[in-house]
């Protein structure tokens, strides 16, 4: 049994503030409750609230306006579209997957054409690491994101770096919504994508990524059907 890692209080409080924003349907530009109110709502001290707010300000999630208070800000570096504030995560997972179908197979085909030897070595390493984590029952989201990010980087298309946060958010939401059910499919399709890129076969890379996303869509559709 793996020992559970306890997050620092400031980090968990930051997450609680984001949850509060979502639960109360606050929007970009809205003002947060003051320190006293937040401390009371979240059951922590004011110093912890200040630490959490400082961390969220550094991520451009919040903005402090002197004499006015703390406000929700757009332009989050790792979430440029503000998707963390969307309450219906299942609908978000479905819509993000649609976007990935539009762009990610083409990114994979470009990676097959343009990936360097160093890129392929990194992809191989990340593919193995994702598989190892899945087989050992360890959360693999971060490595999964790294794998897809490396594919986008290997495409050598400058615009894909701006699209990567959308892909990353989709992976995170999908894993959260589905409770990481696609384990074997993830291992198999990651390997197919990697092999196609290794072989410089753009069509196979495109189709392998398409298959990877199709498994995701099938799982999402099943969950949607169960909820309806």
The domain 9-72 is classified under which CATH number: 1.10.3720.10, 1.10.357.10, 1.10.10.10, 1.20.58.100? 1.10.10.10
Per-residue pLDDT at 5? 46
pLDDT band at residue 38, thresholds of 50, 70 and 90? very high
Per-residue pLDDT at 109? 97
Rounded to two decimals, the pTM is 0.66
Instruction: Give per-residue pLDDT as tens, 152-207.
Output: 999 999 888 778 777 877 777 777 776 666 688 899 999 999 999 999 999 999 99
Most confident residue range from 89-93, 133-137, 140-144 = 133-137
- Whether 88-227 and 9-72 are alike in CATH topology: the answer is no
Instruction: List b or e across 19-52, with b for residues whose CB sees 16 or more CB atoms inside 10 angstroms.
Output: eebeeeebeeeeebbebeebbeebebeeebbebb
Mean pLDDT of the chain: 86
Cross-strand partners of 71: 31, 63
Q: Which CATH superfamily is domain 88-227 in?
A: GntR ligand-binding domain-like (1.20.120.530)
> In the chain, what are the domain boundaries?
9-72, 88-227
Q: Is the pLDDT of residue 75 over 60?
A: no
Per-residue pLDDT at 55? 85
Query: CA 55 → CA 47, 78, 108, 159, 208, distances in Å?
Result: 13, 14, 34, 28, 39
User: Which carries the bigger pLDDT value, residue 127 or residue 80?
Assistant: 127
pLDDT band at residue 6, thresholds of 50, 70 and 90? low
């Amino acid at each position: 049994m793996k020992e559970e890692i306890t997050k620092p209080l400031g980090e968990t409080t930051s997450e609680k503030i984001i949850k509060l924003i979502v639960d109360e349907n606050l929007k970009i530009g809205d003002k947060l409750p003051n320190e006293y109110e937040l401390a009371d709502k979240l059951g922590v001290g004011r110093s912890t609230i200040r630490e959490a707010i400082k961390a969220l300000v550094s991520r451009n999630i919040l903005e402090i306006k002197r004499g006015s208070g703390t406000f929700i800000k757009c332009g989050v570096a790792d979430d440029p579209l503000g998707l963390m504030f969307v309450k219906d995560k299942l609908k978000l997972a479905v819509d993000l997957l649609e976007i990935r179908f539009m762009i990610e197979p083409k990114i994979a085909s470009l990676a097959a054409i343009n990936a360097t030897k160093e890129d392929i070595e990194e992809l191989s390493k990340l593919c193995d690491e994702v598989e190892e984590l899945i087989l050992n029952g360890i959360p693999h989201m971060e490595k999964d994101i790294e794998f897809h990010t490396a594919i986008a980087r290997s495409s050598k298309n400058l615009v894909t770096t701006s699209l990567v946060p959308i892909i990353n958010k989709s992976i995170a939401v999908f894993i959260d919504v589905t409770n990481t059910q696609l384990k074997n499919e993830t291992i198999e399709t990651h390997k197919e994508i990697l092999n196609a890129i290794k072989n410089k076969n753009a069509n196979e890379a495109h189709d392998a990524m398409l298959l990877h996303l199709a498994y995701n869509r099938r799982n999402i559709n099943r969950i949607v059907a169960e909820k309806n």
